Amino acid sequence: MTLHLDHITLTYPDGPTEVTAVDDVSLTLHPGQFTALVGESGSGKSSLLAVAAGLQEPTSGQVRVDGPRGLIFQQANLLGALTAREQLLVTDHIRGRKPRRDRADELLERVGLAGSGHRRMNQLSGGQRQRVNIARALMGSPAVLLADEPTSALDTRLAREVVDLLADITRETQAVTLLVTHDRSLLDSCDRVVEMRDGRVREVRAVS
Ligand SMILES: Nc1ncnc2c1ncn2[C@@H]1O[C@H](COP(=O)(O)OP(=O)(O)OP(=O)(O)O)[C@@H](O)[C@H]1O
C-alpha cells in the first residue's frame, strides 16, 4: 500500500483573491516509512495533510490511496465523558460494526495503557490521552496514518515517547505514516523529512 500525492494544489478563497496553501506538491510515501512534514507556520503542512487524509478536496491533483486511513490530531477531539475503551469502541459504532472490546483492549495494551480501559479521559494525563488517540486511529487497521501536531500539548519527554510509539507502530503494521510537526527534536525518530515552504516541497531528505 503506497500513498501517492500527485500534483496537489489547494487554494482557499481569501476575500476577492485566493491563497495557494499547497502548490503542485507530488510525493510518494511507502509502507513502513515514517515521514515528517516540517516547515514554517503557514507553509501548508496542515493543508497538505488534510488533503492526504481525504478531509479536504484538492483544487487540482489527485490522492491515490488504497486502504483505510487513520487520523491523529491534537487531543481536543476526544470525548471527555467517555472511558478510554469507549473512545475506541465509538469508532465501531460510527462504522455500524459490533463493538470489538477485545480488539480495543489489545490496542490499549499496545500503546502502554493495559488496565486503563475503564478510566475516563479526565483521569488520564496528556501523554496517556494521546496514546488513546493513537489506539483509536488503529481500530480501523489503517494502511495510512496521518498525524497533525499530535505532540504539541506534550512536554519534550512525552512528545518523544509518543513519536517513538508512532515509529514502532509504523514498522510493525507497515503503515504509511505522515507526521506534521514543528518540533525538530523529534525528527531523528523518522525515516524521512519533507520540508515545505510557501506551499511547495523545498527539500526531501532521509534521516540517517
Ligand atoms: N480555511 C482557510 N481559509 C483560508 N486560508 C487558509 C485556510 N486554512 C489555511 N489557510 C492559509 O493557507 C496557508 C497554509 O496554511 P496551513 O495551516 O496549511 O499551514 P501550516 O504549515 O500547517 O501552518 P501551522 O504550522 O501554523 O499550522 C496559510 O497561508 C493559511 O493562512
For ligand 1, pick from 12, 57, 149 the residue to mutate: most ligand atoms within 8 Å of CB: 12
Confidence of residue 143 (pLDDT cuts 50, 70, 90): very high
Nearest residue CA, atom 29 of ligand 1? 42
Reported as a pLDDT band with limits 50, 70 and 90, residue 77 is low
Atom of ligand 1 nearest to the CA of 43: 21
Print the SS3 string covering 1-17: CCEEEEEEEEEEEECCE
The alpha carbon of 156 and the centre of ligand 1 are apart by a number of angstroms equal to: 25
Ligand 1, pocket-test mutation among 43, 182, 196, most atoms within 8 A of CB? 43
Q: What is the pTM of this model?
A: 0.93
Phi, psi of 22 (to 5 degrees): -130, 130
Among 17, 47, 179, 195, name the best residue to mutate to test ligand 1's pocket (greatest count of ligand atoms within 8 A of Cβ).
Answer: 47
Cβ pair 83, 29 in contact under 8 A: no
What is the pLDDT confidence band of residue 11, given thresholds at 50, 70 and 90?
Answer: very high
CA-closest candidate to residue 146, choices 20, 57, 45: 45
Tell how far the Cα of 115 is from the centroid of ligand 1, in angstroms. Answer: 39
- At 23 the pLDDT is 98
Which residue's entry shows cell 483505510? 68
User: pLDDT band at residue 138, thresholds of 50, 70 and 90?
Assistant: very high
User: How many Cα atoms are found within 13 Å in the side-chain-facing hemisphere of 152?
Assistant: 13
Q: Which three cell numbers stand for residue 124?
A: 488520564
Tell me the average pLDDT of the chain.
Answer: 93
Q: How far is CA 150 from the centre of its chain?
A: 7
Task: Find the range with the poorest average confidence among 8-12, 23-27, 151-155, 169-173.
Answer: 151-155
Residues with C-beta less than 6 Å from any ligand 1 atom: 12, 14, 19, 21, 39, 41-47, 182
User: Domain segments of the chain: what residues?
Assistant: 79-140
Is the pLDDT at 146 greater than 90, yes or no? Answer: yes
Q: ipTM more than 0.95?
A: yes
What is the Å distance from ligand 1's center to 1 Cα?
29
**Closest Cα to residue 144, out of 88, 49, 70?**
70
Ligand 1: nearest atom to the Cα of 46: 22
